[in-house]
Amino acid sequence: MPMRNVLLAVVALTALVGGAGWYVVQKLLPPASVPAVADPAQAELAARFLDLLDARRYDEALAMATPRVQEGLAGGKLAEIWETLPKQLGERKARSAVRGESVNGKPIIAATLSFAMLPLDARITFDSERRIAGFWIVPAKSTSAAAAEPERGEGWHEVATGVGQGADVLPATLTLPESGAPFAAVVLVHGSGAHDRDETIGPNKPFRDLAHGLATRGIAVLRYEKRSKQQPQRYAGAAYTVDDETTNDALAAVAMLRTRADVDPKRVFVAGHSLGALVAPRIGARDPAIAGLILLAGPAAPLADTVVRQSRYLLQQDGKNAAEIDAALAPIEAQRDAVRRIDASTPADAPSLLGLPAAYWRDLAGYDPVATSRTLAQPMLVLQGGRDYQVTVADDFSRWREAFPADPRVQLREYPTLGHTFIP
């Protein structure tokens, strides 16, 4: 789901204040992967811009920007963006020197802001007149680094493997118990966004925790780099679907596990978190031999509605009044309404909405995870955090309860003190 952690809460709030949803930041801004020599004049201007922000001289900082940027960040929005970050992420420990980078061949100036909880990158671009033409705050590269070398713990060890074939292979880690093969096994399926195999969220690595914990209980666990992280170039401007992003790789992961001598092919399960839980019933329907499905924070409401609900919650937490919230949500609600009108007749290359291509929304049009679950034969375990504001008890888990009030095939468990990542 549009989602899921204090980092995304900051990015959500920051982007909303600037007049766009966080999903634009997450989906449309690819990671800077190519170091570049910084234009000295631009580097000096970028450093001055950041100095002015630190000094809270926002009007002077804004005067360095193009009219379009000034319009988008006027009325105190720039100050609100900058001052929101330490409120959400703790004291800022350091700001790096500015550096040159390249994103899709275009030069940017970047600096890393190291907060108590995690680092963010401030990115700045300039026009031909050396005015600031773009300003973004995005996850720092270090927050989504690939998993480290395979680990070993008491009663388990890890091996490096992959999901897919050839150039499309996704790096993966298989955590195996030391004894008891052939093992029951679980494939972990990520939430939305360009996640690594650990589903790293700030300092937390919930998928790694699950893998190690389950392995101590005799269960093998496969986790892999999400394709949108491993191959982001495939998604920039492309008409991709939820199957392209998530479903197909999960099915390939299941198929790969079945080929291993140390895995029982009849006991391969799928555990999806958030978006992964949304599509878990689809995965189960497409491979009825999957032994069972685990849904962690399983959405039941439509994805576009969830975007609006989460955005409203974040704005409320920042103390905005009703009029300010309504104004910030208006463009998001307009796009949600447009998403509702998408159907099979909508061209796949129609304009993107809520940061996702029309093909993605068309793929989800009419898909109901709860209704799909009713058609399945596999057992299901649906888990919900009581303090989850992204997938909620009231809007989502209640519908799962209503659909399966006394079905022995489906178990539902609520953990009152846990949030979206199942951490207190």
Active site residues: 274, 388, 420
User: DSSP 3-state assignment of 66?
Assistant: coil
Spatial neighbors of 14 by CB under 8 A, at least 6 apart, are 22, 25, 81, 84, 85, 137
Q: How far apart are CA 86 and CA 68, in angstroms?
A: 27
Which helix H or strand E contains 223, and what residues bound it? strand 219-224
* Pairing outcome for strands 132-139 and 119-126: antiparallel
Are 350 and 329 contacting, i.e. CB atoms less than 8 angstroms apart?
no
Please, what sign has the CA dihedral across residues 51, 53, 58, 64? positive
Range list of β-strands (E), 74-182 = 92-95, 99-103, 106-115, 119-126, 132-139, 152-153, 156-163, 170-177
Q: How far apart are CA 191 and CA 420, in angstroms?
A: 10
Q: What CA–CA distances, in Å, run from 41 to 38, 108, 128, 401?
A: 8, 12, 12, 60
Q: Exposed (0-12), middle (13-18) or buried (19+): which is 113, by Cβ within 10 Å?
A: buried
Are 188 and 211 contacting, i.e. CB atoms less than 8 angstroms apart?
yes
User: DSSP 3-state assignment of 329?
Assistant: helix
